[in-house]
């Protein structure tokens, strides 16, 4: 099945509003690159301006997290209703949220359903830690993370899964294309067990972890890798443009 590839930039907790605006200006023309879905994920305070900047284009805007409830007494949280005013996608379960903010697979199952209910396309992040990798537990961890988050319900519309091995994030030590393909193929097989192979064939699976303009083509040559979730390099407009062009050309 032909899957439109994705270039997603996770800006994490970086930049002022002025810097976010400058980054958007630096990405001018990205909306015209054919054959790729572009997703930008700024922090919450930058979302309104980034949303307005790309309004009327095909560029998608993603939150980096979201609460499950539409409203209520949850100080410091952002609801799916609020997020949907300034975003159309949402990153869920990034390893930094799992590691520093105690997000677990059960919470992510609820967040996936909330995203679906509010029309937000989810990017579910999964990936093993360095210790899990050393203990050869990568596939077991991915099976649990994907299996529990998907539960027994139908797939959320447009579901995207990002394989981000924790040891490769921000380290400059990317997975090899073979390692990434093996993990992404496993993720697709878990999705097929849960959702059926027709649906799993349509799920887009991204690689993330020290992606740059020099290594992206090798990842895109893999059959189960449908794009990238980019951290550091997405903060440099020329780099993210080059990555996006390489993904579109794959």
- The residue within the footprint of ligand 13P, chosen from 27, 211, 220, 248 (CB under 6 A), is 211
Catalytic residue, chosen from 96, 103, 116, 164, is 164
CB 133 within 8 A of CB 169: no
- Considering only residues 3 to 22 of the shown chain, the ones binding ligand 13P according to CB under 6 A are 10
- The residue within the footprint of ligand 13P, chosen from 112, 184, 187, 229 (CB under 6 A), is 229
Count of chain residues binding ligand 13P (CB under 6 A): 14
238 CB-near residues (< 8 Å, 6+ apart):
26
- Considering only residues 37 to 66 of the shown chain, the ones binding ligand 13P according to CB under 6 A are none
Q: Could you give the C-alpha distances from 225 to 4, 214, 250, in angstroms and in order?
A: 11, 16, 11
Query: Nearest residue by C-beta to ligand 13P?
Result: 231
Bridge partners for 200 per DSSP: none
Tell me the closest approach of the beta carbon of residue 198 to ligand 13P, in angstroms: 28
- Considering only residues 91 to 130 of the shown chain, the ones binding ligand 13P according to CB under 6 A are 94
186 among known catalytic residues: no
- The residue within the footprint of ligand 13P, chosen from 46, 68, 138, 210 (CB under 6 A), is 210
Site for ligand 13P contains 232 (CB under 6 A)? yes
Tell me the closest approach of the beta carbon of residue 196 to ligand 13P, in angstroms: 28
Which letter, b or e, does each residue of 205-228 get, where b requires 16 or more Cβ atoms within 10 Å of its Cβ? bbbbbbbbbebbebbbebebbbbb
Which of these, 82, 77, 104, lies nearest to 93 by C-alpha position?
104
Tell me the closest approach of the beta carbon of residue 108 to ligand 13P, in angstroms: 15
Sign of CA dihedral 205, 203, 92, 189: negative
Site for ligand 13P contains 214 (CB under 6 A)? no
66: tokens are: 């979201």
116 CB-near residues (< 8 Å, 6+ apart):
122, 156, 157
CB 99 within 8 A of CB 130: no
CB 204 within 8 A of CB 160: yes
CB 56 within 8 A of CB 75: no
Catalytic residue, chosen from 94, 96, 128, 186, is 94
60 among known catalytic residues: no
Tell me the closest approach of the beta carbon of residue 230 to ligand 13P, in angstroms: 5
Tell me the closest approach of the beta carbon of residue 71 to ligand 13P, in angstroms: 28
Q: Could you give the C-alpha distances from 185 to 73, 78, 154, 197, 239, in angstroms and in order?
A: 41, 33, 20, 12, 27
Site for ligand 13P contains 244 (CB under 6 A)? no
- Considering only residues 152 to 181 of the shown chain, the ones binding ligand 13P according to CB under 6 A are 164, 169-170
Contact set with ligand 13P (CB under 6 A): 10, 94, 164, 169-170, 208-211, 229-233
- The catalytic residue positions are 94, 164
């Amino acid at each position: 099945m032909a899957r439109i590839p994705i270039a997603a930039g996770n800006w994490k907790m970086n930049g002022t509003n002025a810097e976010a605006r400058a980054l958007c200006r630096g990405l001018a023309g990205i909306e015209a690159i054919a054959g790729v879905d572009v997703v930008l994920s700024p922090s919450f305070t930058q979302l309104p301006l980034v949303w307005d900047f790309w309004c009327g284009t095909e560029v998608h805007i993603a939150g980096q997290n979201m609460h499950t409830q539409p409203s209520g007494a949850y100080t410091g949280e952002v609801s799916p209703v609020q997020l949907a005013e300034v975003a159309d996608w949402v990153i869920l379960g990034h390893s930094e949220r799992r590691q520093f903010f105690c997000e677990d697979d059960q919470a992510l199952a609820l967040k996936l359903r909330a995203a679906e209910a509010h029309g937000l396309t989810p990017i579910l992040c999964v990936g093993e830690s360095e210790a899990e990798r050393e203990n050869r537990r990568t596939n077991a961890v991915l099976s649990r993370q994907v299996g529990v988050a998907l539960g027994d319900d139908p797939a959320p519309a447009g579901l995207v899964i990002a394989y981000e091995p924790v040891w490769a994030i921000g380290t400059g030590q990317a997975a090899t294309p073979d390692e990434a393909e093996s993990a992404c193929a496993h993720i697709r097989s878990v999705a097929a067990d849960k959702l059926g192979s027709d649906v799993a064939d349509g799920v887009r699976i991204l690689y993330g972890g020290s992606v740059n303009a020099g290594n992206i083509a090798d990842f895109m040559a893999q059959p189960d890798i449908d794009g990238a979730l980019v951290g550091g390099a997405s903060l440099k407009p020329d780099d993210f443009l080059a990555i996006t062009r390489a993904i579109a050309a794959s």
